[in-house]
Amino acid sequence: MSHRLRPLALAILIGSIETATAAAPHVTADAKTVSVTVDDQVLCASLANATLTLKSPQGQWIMQPALQQGNGWTTPSHADGEPRLHRTADRVAVEIRYPAADQRRFTLKLEACAGVPAVFVTSRLEVLADPRNQYYFWGTSFSPTHQVSPGAHGFQRMDFGEGKTWNTIPWNRWWFLDSAHGGLAIFPTNCGGRGPGKQGCLTLNALPHSRILAPGDSLDARFGVAGAGSAEVVEKLWAAVEARKIAAVTPWTDDAPAGEVYGKPAPKWLRDAEICNFYYRPAAQWTDEVVKKSLSRFPLIVGSTPDKAALEKCHKAGIRLLHYVCYTCLLDTDMQVREGGNVYSEWSESKDCQSRDLKNHPDWICIDAHGKIQKDAWGQDHHHPGLLNTCLHQKGLRDAPVRHVRLLMEMGFDGLFIDLAGPTVECYGPRFGKHKHEAPNQSNTEAYEELMRAIYHAVKQYGDDRIVMQNTCTSIVPSHWAYCDAQLLEAYPYNDTSQDLTVTWPELWWNGNRHGRAVAHGKIPVIMPYFPKLPDEKAWQAASVSLAYARLFGFLWADGFTLQDVLGNRADAVYRLRLGQPSALWQRSGDTLWRGFPAGNVTLAPPAEAVLPGLSPVVKKR
């Protein structure tokens, strides 16, 4: 049950939540703070800005959320309403809501359980308007010199450097940051860090680190805190946490909002595909030999040429082909040439490219907050000075992509791959008299989402077996499932600049669990790791781990042929591996995941270990 927590009625409230258990946790409040007490641990939340203060016999620690706002940081504003109390016979929780800048809301939930002398925190950041990427973390007043955590052979110690280097603290069941008179125990759900220098403070990350949020979804940071006398005490405390199954510190907790709309399932051929790949080459490079030796290993290819001959070669080889499109940035060919760039083949070969050339449509160009033309950031970094961001408010711009899509579908393409399908930059054209917006209160991202719905509808008019795959680059956006069949996680979970996983194990679990809901509704997440010039064994391990992860959760796997760049023909064993469709969901045994397939069992366990049937882990040196 729950009710409003009114500080002025504090005495009555405390009496109402006391139980017969002497050690029952309880809540107190005044005009400035709300506190949760369990045994000798007290965690206080400021109503002014969500700052937390932990008080225990071992010391006092302060924690504060830092919300990214543009290129800076902000904190939540004063709580807007009365805290809500939730209680059972042996548990108590209090929830406080805070407004945040940029049409956001920050919710703080503190909870405690009898017999577990620690307080658990769930913080939740939501956007109330159009989708956008969000990031925040919890910072502390504490500058520890080292931490102790559980290891394979007892406790392990990690010393923090005090130089200019950031210290990453890997996720573990618990961390103990000790001092002369005891220390701080933290039960995290993701990794953290310790800033550089002697005054570098401890930080805690949300799970995942960041993500694109649409209204109704949230980015959550969850952890438990307690003062403790030693690592041995923390280990015993963790055993109590596990025994009571406290969800706030379980990385598997699924906080997906109810009532998500997924739309029609993707066609069966896509759900059965297991693997796909990307081949961005001019038409001349889609030779018979390439199609036969390289592309035919995959049931699905994403390409960027609208060449009819290439399409027919793929179809003859049993390959379905998607065409690459992007509409949030288009080329001004005059500017491209004038400023020293070349009109690249993806543009010059594109169907009906003249109708989308921004040299003919100055009103389609996105205007920044200073009244200047917005040049695409990627284009600037890759010598394309004429690649400009677009204003999706313009009806002509929204009509041109739909016309382009119909031309591609009439050629016989099996669908589209929409790049940069996430939130786009804002346009301020009306402010400077550059052009008008039909819906002044609508953001550029909202206008873009309308276009993507129209594209999905246009594609499906040519048959339910045609598909739309989106690439939002940084994260899968559940609110987009109603108007796409697949979404891509690019450079995930390996990228081309590192030999190691680019995400933590809790983030792997979270994404698998969260987006496995989409798979259950017939939608297909796609992961595309990149493999740089790794040693053979390292490349093989990375390929095995990422492929096992994809199959465990029902995702598609692709690599842009980067594994072939490393291993040569030996990558063929990965490209041709097919496991069949599983008869049951994935299972968990401790930290190990496994799932049964017609070809055998797949297992995945930290640290980065995987077993796939029919895929030998041995790779010979070249």
pLDDT in tens, 560-581: 999 999 999 999 999 999 999 9
Residue whose C-alpha is closest to residue 490's, from 471, 514, 463, 515: 471
Q: What is the pLDDT of residue 254?
A: 65
pLDDT over 70 (residue 288): yes
The verdict on residue 463 lying in a domain is: yes
Give mean pLDDT, residues 263-291: 97
Q: What is the mean pLDDT of residues 65-84?
A: 96
Least confident of 285-294, 450-459, 536-545: 536-545
The domain total for the chain is 2
Residue 521 has pLDDT above 90, yes or no: yes
* DSSP labels, 149-177: EEETTEEEEEEPP-SSSPEEE---S-EEE
> Cα(296)–Cα(214) distance, rounded to whole angstroms?
38
Residues 296 and 233 in one domain: no
What is the percent of the chain where pLDDT is above 90?
85
pTM for the model stands at 0.93
Beta strand 2-4 with 84-87: parallel, antiparallel or unpaired? antiparallel
Within a domain: 148: yes
Confidence of residue 622 (pLDDT cuts 50, 70, 90): very low
In a domain, 444, yes or no: yes
Alpha helices (H) along 77-194: none
Helical ranges in 250-365 per DSSP H: 268-271, 288-293, 308-316, 333-338, 345-348
pLDDT at 447 over 70: yes
197-209 tens-digit pLDDT: 988 999 999 999 9
Task: Mark which of 187, 219, 249 sits at the end of a domain.
Answer: 249
Rounded-to-integer distance, Cα 117 and Cα 235, Å: 13
The region, left, alpha or beta by phi > 0 then psi within -120 to 50, assigned to residue 102 is left
Residue 163 is predicted with a pLDDT of 84
Question: Helix count (H) and strand count (E) of the chain?
Answer: 14, 34
Residue 53 lies in a domain: yes
Strand duo 277-279 + 609-611: pairing:
unpaired
**Longest CA pairwise span in the chain (Å):** 82
Q: Same domain for 380 and 284?
A: yes
Task: Examine residue 255 and state whether it is found in any structural domain, yes or no.
Answer: no
CATH (domain of 344): 3.20.20.70
63, 346, 429 from 362: Cα distances, Å: 49, 22, 11
Cα distance between residue 327 and residue 345, in whole Å: 17
Asked which of 198, 219, 249 is the last residue of a domain, the reply is 249
**Given this model, what pLDDT does residue 180 score?**
67
pLDDT of res. 21 = 42
Domain match, 338 and 389 both? yes
> CATH code at 136?
2.70.98
Please tell me whether residues 286 and 242 are part of one structural domain: no
The reply to whether 338 and 233 lie within a common domain is no
Tell me: pLDDT of 505 over 80.
yes
Same structural domain, 466 and 513: yes
Which structural domain, as residue segments, surrounds residue 119? 2-249
Would the pLDDT of 3 be above 60? Answer: no
Question: Is the residue at 455 inside a domain?
Answer: yes
In a domain, 621, yes or no: no
pLDDT of 132 above 80: yes
At 143-186, the pLDDT tens digits run: 899 999 999 889 999 999 888 889 999 999 999 998 767 899 99
Confidence class for position 142, pLDDT limits 50, 70, 90 = confident
Q: Please report the pLDDT score of residue 617 as a whole number.
A: 57
Question: What pLDDT, on a 0 to 100 scale, did the predictor assign at position 292?
Answer: 96
Flag whether pLDDT at 365 surpasses 90. yes
Mean pLDDT of 262-285: 97
Residue 127 has pLDDT above 50, yes or no: yes
Mean pLDDT of the chain: 92
Segment among 53-67, 78-92, 174-188, 199-213 with least mean pLDDT: 174-188
Please check the confidence at residue 533 and state whether its pLDDT lies above 90.
no
Q: Are residues 431 and 569 in the same domain?
A: yes
Domain boundary among 219, 249, 279: 249
CA 292 – CA 356 distance, rounded (Å): 34
220 and 317 assigned to the same domain = no
Residues 282 and 245 both lie in one domain: no
